[in-house]
Chains A and B, each alone.
Chain A
Amino acid sequence: MNCIKDDLIQQYIDGETKQAENDWIKEHLSNCEKCTLRVEHQRNLAAGIKKMLNVPEVDDDVTKVVPLQQIHSNEKSIRYKKWVYILAVASVLVFIFLITKRHQISEESFMILEPGFASGYDANKPVSDQDLIIEVIDENGRAEEFFFE
């Protein structure tokens, strides 16, 4: 007789099994004491950990809603952090650019740097997963784009 796998036990106690699986598990449990104990243990474990993670002392101080005005005042510092990140990457790229193109740069040379996110900033993605783009324009108006994945 095949016993119930751990992941199926978990799904069963969370009510995430399909009807056919549910029927098979119930049938199996009526004949298998070992699995009945495993289900019982897993149920207690899940309930105990859920309870532990929701004890008031974990929640107490954090549930107070911070007034909205305070949130708005933080907006500048968030934008500042994003630009520090972009400029740090830009600095590295400029350094590489200067090293590799050193022989072509005269005293009158100038460059324009346009850093940004390739597809705009997306709060639903980690910053590290978002592609950066740095556009470098030289004194002849020639533009080069550097992607930073």
Chain B
Amino acid sequence: MTLFEEIYTENYSVMSRVAAKLLGDQEVGSDVVQDIFIDLFQHLENDCQILNLKGWLYRAIYNRCIDNLRRQKRFKMIQINAVVEESEDILEQEERKTIIQNTLSKMKPREKSLLVFYSEGLSYREISDVTGIRLTSVGKMLSRALKNFEHELKRQGYELH
């Protein structure tokens, strides 16, 4: 197994999950992650040094997703939901998923990113490195983002369990 294959296998799932949460769309998220691994492949082929691989990947995801979210604002997507018969469990899961995505979609891209990286267990130092937010401001912004998420959730008629 080559170095790239090892990195790919170890990190693909986490990066896909983060991109899907940030973008609220699994397919677009998957495309973004594939783009990033292609860039990484070219980087490694050109013998470019990456000191902190995890940081590099998170930063690449963050930048791509922020770009993508800004574009989404300019060209609002129209979603057409197909009507399909599904079991109650699946419907409940889908509903929860929709609530989470709706709530995240109402938040500013930077706040949304903070929450997603926080939920992935990144430290304040790592969040600061990835997003460019000052280390001393991470706590303040995170506290506000959590409150905004709760507020938005309540606005949609849901409570945290």
Q: A11-B139, A63-B17 are in contact. Are A53 and B115 (CB under 8 A)?
A: yes
**Secondary structure type dominating chain B contacts:** helix
- Asked if A22 lies at the interface with its beta carbon under 8 angstroms from chain B, I say no
* A42 to B147 alpha-carbon distance, docked (Å): 9
With a cutoff of 8 Å between Cβ atoms, the chain B residues found around residue A123 in the complex are 36, 39-40, 43, 60
In chain A, what residue has the closest Cβ to B119?
A53
Chain A, 37-72, contact with B by CB distance < 8 Å: what is the 0/1 string?
A: 000001011101110111101110111111010011
Interface of chain B residues 35 through 61 with chain A (CB within 8 A): 35-41, 43, 56, 59-60
Enumerate chain B residues within 8 angstroms of A87, measured Cβ to Cβ: none
Q: Tell me, in angstroms, the Cα distance from A117 to B94 when the chains sit together.
A: 42
CA distance A72 to B38 in the complex (A): 7
Q: Does B160 contact A (CB under 8 A)?
A: yes
19 contacts between A and B (CB under 8 A): A6-B143, A10-B142, A16-B123, A45-B146, A49-B146, A52-B160, A55-B100, A58-B100, A62-B20, A66-B30, A74-B35, A75-B38, A121-B39, A123-B43, A124-B63, A126-B63, A126-B64, A126-B67, A128-B67
In the complex, how many angstroms separate the beta carbon of A18 from the nearest chain B beta carbon? 11
Does A68 lie within 8 Å of B17, measured CB to CB? Answer: no
Residues of A in contact, count (CB < 8 Å): 42
Task: Give the dominant DSSP class at A's interface.
Answer: helix
Residue A127, interface by CB 8 Å: yes
A137 within 8 A of B: no
Given A49-B115, A128-B67, 16 additional A-B pairs, CB 8 A: A6-B140, A7-B143, A8-B139, A9-B143, A16-B123, A53-B100, A53-B119, A62-B17, A62-B20, A66-B12, A66-B34, A123-B43, A124-B56, A126-B67, A128-B70, A129-B63
